């Protein structure tokens, strides 16, 4: 990183601190999270709630900047970063540094989210420090972020205790659809080209880690979507047969969540698809 790169990173870091401040000061706080109702304390759930607004801002800004890169430069691998690529990548790198620090300080991360942050920091950091590999990351960021606004807004509704509303169900199902289409249809097409390419190995491994975590979220999301459909159809007395179908599927998934053999096979298979295919592709290239 040269002085200009450090200045760009500092500028985007300052921008995300300002965006965070604007979100905390301008969006309303649910009564049960308001510090006034918690002995003046800002709980980790309070920071998690407002963090969703900041993350929505990042998802939108990132997709705009990365789409500009994709439209003007296409999908290349291992090539030097253009100015447009640097802007897109430094924006996300600064955001992920901010988000990781804030989430760890206030301890509202899960293990899966912490692993996701590690992968995101390496993914965005590699193009910054190598001066290359930014274009393929920009395309990956579009795929990774396109479903996030739905998920984040769903979390906001949950914090507002509106998780029983029709809007929550619609947002949740939209998230599930976009997540599956982007991560498990579009992303494999990109990975099939990236794994045997000249892209930096550290970038490939970090993206493999993010994809591995995506398999975990796929199982969680599928369980969640079925549960929401079950609850929705249970309340619809006009379609009892449909309700019975979702109840049966939910019961099956509930048993699988408790089956250690299934979980071991699922995560072992996910690990192989994420890292094993990378190993085969990368070593064949060499």
- Give the per-residue pLDDT at 165: 84
- Give the per-residue pLDDT at 12: 96
Q: What is the pTM of this model?
A: 0.85
CA distance 20 to 51: 8
3-state helix, strand, coil in the chain (%, to 5): 80, 0, 20
- Give the per-residue pLDDT at 147: 94
- Give the per-residue pLDDT at 284: 62
- Give the per-residue pLDDT at 98: 94
State the 10-residue block means of pLDDT for the chain, 286 residues long.
87 96 94 90 91 96 96 93 95 94 83 81 91 94 94 93 86 90 93 91 90 88 77 62 70 84 93 91 64
The three-class DSSP label of residue 214 is helix
- Give the per-residue pLDDT at 225: 77
CA distance 219 to 229: 16
- Give the per-residue pLDDT at 238: 56
- Give the per-residue pLDDT at 4: 87
**Taking the mean position of all CA atoms in its chain, how far away is CA 83?**
25
């Amino acid at each position: 990183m040269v002085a200009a790169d450090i200045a760009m990173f500092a500028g985007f870091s300052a921008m995300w601190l300002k965006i965070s401040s604007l979100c905390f000061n301008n969006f309303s706080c649910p009564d049960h999270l308001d510090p006034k109702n918690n002995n003046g304390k800002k709980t980790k759930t309070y920071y998690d709630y407002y963090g969703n607004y900041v993350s929505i801002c990042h998802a939108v800004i990132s997709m705009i900047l990365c789409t500009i890169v994709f439209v003007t430069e296409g999908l290349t691998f291992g090539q030097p970063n253009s100015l447009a690529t640097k802007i897109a990548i430094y924006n996300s790198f600064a955001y992920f540094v901010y988000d990781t620090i804030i989430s760890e300080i206030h301890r509202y991360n899960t293990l899966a989210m912490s692993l996701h942050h590690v992968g995101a920091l390496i993914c965005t950091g590699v193009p910054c420090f190598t001066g290359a590999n930014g274009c393929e990351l920009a395309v990956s960021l579009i795929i990774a972020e396109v479903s996030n606004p739905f998920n984040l807004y769903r979390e906001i509704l949950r914090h507002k205790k509106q998780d029983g509303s029709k809007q929550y169900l619609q947002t949740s199902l939209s998230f599930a659809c976009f997540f599956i289409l982007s991560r498990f249809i579009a992303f494999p097409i990109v990975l099939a080209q990236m794994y045997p390419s000249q892209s930096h190995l550290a970038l490939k491994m970090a993206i493999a880690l993010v994809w591995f975590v995506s398999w975990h979220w796929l199982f969680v999301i599928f369980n969640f979507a079925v549960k929401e459909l079950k609850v929705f159809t249970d309340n619809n007395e006009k379609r009892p047969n449909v309700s019975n179908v979702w109840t049966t599927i939910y019961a099956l998934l509930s048993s699988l969540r408790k089956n250690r053999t299934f979980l071991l096979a699922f995560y072992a298979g996910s690990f192989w698809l994420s890292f094993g295919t990378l190993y085969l592709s990368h070593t064949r290239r060499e």
